[in-house]
């Protein structure tokens, strides 16, 4: 029973109302951090009480993190074990199976799917788990076991890398928890075949969050030439070619990612219409501008330039620079898509930076559409960080 769990308590001035209304995080300055609490092992399961000692639910505690506690279950009698995890995964699986015909999607989107700090992407019979919170690291065997029980996946990769783990005090680690892979995994999406490196690739190997934005861009790119900057494994380029683009050029700093993009283009039967250019994205856009190159569709999907509040202003300047360099590469009447996956830059800030950059690039235009992550990346309404992705689609004047 949960009575066997230790208890932690909110400070008298902490806002218990937000927790009761669904906010999932408790910050270090909101919790009573006496010696007993400070001595808890990161990832400890505990019962959270308000200042009047009324139970609020079961949380995971990490005294080493600024987010000192994360809500796991609002029933203070809940036992957090493999069966509890399996129930959360089953609920998430039912939603994805309703949304998608094939099992290629983000299966668990952390707090929004009731598993704080946990990311699971599914690739058919394989899956990648990112345990980005201390409790998930401690229970990684239960996570993998429950995942296999519910979904039947036979290969499970643990990707223990990334900034989030550092904030939790966790070391970086890659591991094969079950099964194995000897080649990239082919992923059918938007009429193209992508090659995902689940072990050596970026993040989990593929960005499922852009699926719907890939499809919208493909409509804009029909019959023309398109440029995919920060292309990774060719996300926007391959979707555009599948949608009828005449040619596509993918730009990325990673030779490995471009190689996978090329393999995906070949597997999709349009390798003859696909080209790559390795290099720093800013430098390549400057070079293309000097060459007088123009494209009917230009897409820029950079990494998170503003992953935290201290990086916000520098990040917004970087997004403005992307727009300034990309805008002159768009043919008159053509289209420009600009993306941000930065938590710290909200939609208004990103849109304003993009508009400034387009203006500084000598162009004007219409904002046609604002895209977000697909429904396999649900948002927790009380947690703004769960809705990180923004994609702006412009039609530029001559």
pLDDT on residue 3: 62
The pLDDT score that the predictor gives to residue 283 is: 98
pLDDT of 227 above 80: yes
26 Cβ contact partners less than 8 Å away, ≥ 6 residues apart? 10, 14, 19, 48, 59, 67, 68, 69, 70, 71
Residue pair 224/196 in contact (Cβ under 8 Å)? The answer is no
Segment 338-346 shows an average pLDDT of 95
- Please answer whether residues 170 and 206 qualify as being in contact, where contact means their C-beta atoms are separated by less than 8 angstroms: no
- Mean pLDDT of the region 111-121: 97
Given a cut of 80, whether residue 2 has pLDDT beyond it is no
Q: What is the pLDDT of residue 27?
A: 95
pLDDT digits (tens, 9 = 90+) for 5-19: 999 999 998 878 889
| Region 253-269 average pLDDT | 97
Q: Spell out the domains of the chain, with CATH numbers in brackets.
A: 2-73 (2.30.130.10), 82-178 (3.30.750.80), 185-396 (3.40.50.150)
Q: Which residues contact 269 (CB under 8 A, 6 or more apart)?
A: none
User: 173 - beta bridge partners?
Assistant: 160
Mean pLDDT of 302-324: 96
- The span from the CA of 332 to the CA of 29, in Å, is 54
CA 39 to chain centre: 33
**What percent of the chain has pLDDT above 90?**
93
Task: Round to whole Å and give the CA distance between 104 and 97.
Answer: 10
- Listed in sequence order, the residues at least 6 apart from 107 whose beta carbon sits closer than 8 Å to its beta carbon are 89, 92, 93, 96, 120, 121, 122, 127, 147, 151, 376
Give dist(CA 47, CA 9) in Å, integer: 8
Q: What Rg value do the Cα atoms of the chain yield, rounded?
A: 22
| Mean of the per-residue pLDDT values of the chain | 96
Q: Report the pLDDT averaged over residues 20-34.
A: 94
| Tens-place pLDDT, residues 45-78 | 999 999 999 999 999 999 999 999 999 999 999 9
* Pair 112, 119: CB distance under 8 Å: no
In 3D space, the residue among 196, 377, 227 whose CA is nearest the CA of residue 301 turns out to be 227
Q: Quick one: tokens of 7?
A: 């208890």
pLDDT one-digit tens code per residue, 278-297:
999 999 999 999 999 999 99
CA separation, residue 277 to residues 68, 249, 273, 286 (Å): 44, 7, 14, 13
Please answer whether residues 154 and 62 qualify as being in contact, where contact means their C-beta atoms are separated by less than 8 angstroms. Answer: no
Q: How far is CA 9 from the centre of its chain?
A: 32
Q: Are the beta carbons of 146 and 140 closer than 8 angstroms?
A: no
**191, 144 contact by CB (below 8 A):** no
151 phi and psi angles, rounded to 5 deg: -100, -20
Residue-wise pLDDT tens digits, 162-209:
888 998 999 999 999 999 999 999 999 999 999 999 998 888 899 999
Q: How many helices (H) and strands (E) does the chain have?
A: 12, 19
Q: Which helix (H) or strand (E) holds 37?
A: helix 35-38
pTM value is 0.94
Above 50 in pLDDT, residue 1?
no
Residues 369, 216 contacting (CB under 8 angstroms)? yes
């Amino acid at each position: 029973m949960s009575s066997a769990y230790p208890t932690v308590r909110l400070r008298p001035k902490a806002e218990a109302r937000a927790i009761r209304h669904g906010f999932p995080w408790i910050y270090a300055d909101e919790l009573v951090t006496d010696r007993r609490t400070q001595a808890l092992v990161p990832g400890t399961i505990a019962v959270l009480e308000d200042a009047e000692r009324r139970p609020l639910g079961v949380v995971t505690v990490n005294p080493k993190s600024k987010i000192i506690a994360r809500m796991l279950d609002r029933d203070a009698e809940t036992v957090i074990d493999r069966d509890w995890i399996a129930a959360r995964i089953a609920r998430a699986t039912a939603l994805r199976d309703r949304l998608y015909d094939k099992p290629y999607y983000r299966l668990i989107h952390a707090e929004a799917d009731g598993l704080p700090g946990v990311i699971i992407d599914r690739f058919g019979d394989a899956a990648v788990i990112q345990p980005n919170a201390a409790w998930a690291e401690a229970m990684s065997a239960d996570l993998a076991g429950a995942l296999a029980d519910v979904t039947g996946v036979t290969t499970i990769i643990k990707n223990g890398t990334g900034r989030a783990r550092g904030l939790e005090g966790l070391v970086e680690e890659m591991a094969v928890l079950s099964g194995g892979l000897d080649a990239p995994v082919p992923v059918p999406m938007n009429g193209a075949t992508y090659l995902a490196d689940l072990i050596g690739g970026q993040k989990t190997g593929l960005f499922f969050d852009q699926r719907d934005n890939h499809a919208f861009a493909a409509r804009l790119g029909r019959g023309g030439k398109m440029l995919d900057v920060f292309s990774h494994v060719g996300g926007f380029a391959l979707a555009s070619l599948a949608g009828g683009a005449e040619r596509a050029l993918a730009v990325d700093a990673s030779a490995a990612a471009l190689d996978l993009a090329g393999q995906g283009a070949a597997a999709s039967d349009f390798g003859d219409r696909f080209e790559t250019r390795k290099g720093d994205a800013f430098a390549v856009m400057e070079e293309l501008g000097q060459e007088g190159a123009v494209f009917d569709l230009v897409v820029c999907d950079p990494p998170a330039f503003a992953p935290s509040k201290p990086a916000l202003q520098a990040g917004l300047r970087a997004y403005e620079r992307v727009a300034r360099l990309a805008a002159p590469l768009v043919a008159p009447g053509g289209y420009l898509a600009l993306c941000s996956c930065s938590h710290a830059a909200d939609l208004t800030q990103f849109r304003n930076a993009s508009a400034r950059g387009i203006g500084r690039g000598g162009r004007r235009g219409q904002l046609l559409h604002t895209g977000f992550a697909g429904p396999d990346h649900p948002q927790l309404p009380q947690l703004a960080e769960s809705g990180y992705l923004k994609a702006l689609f412009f039609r530029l004047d001559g």
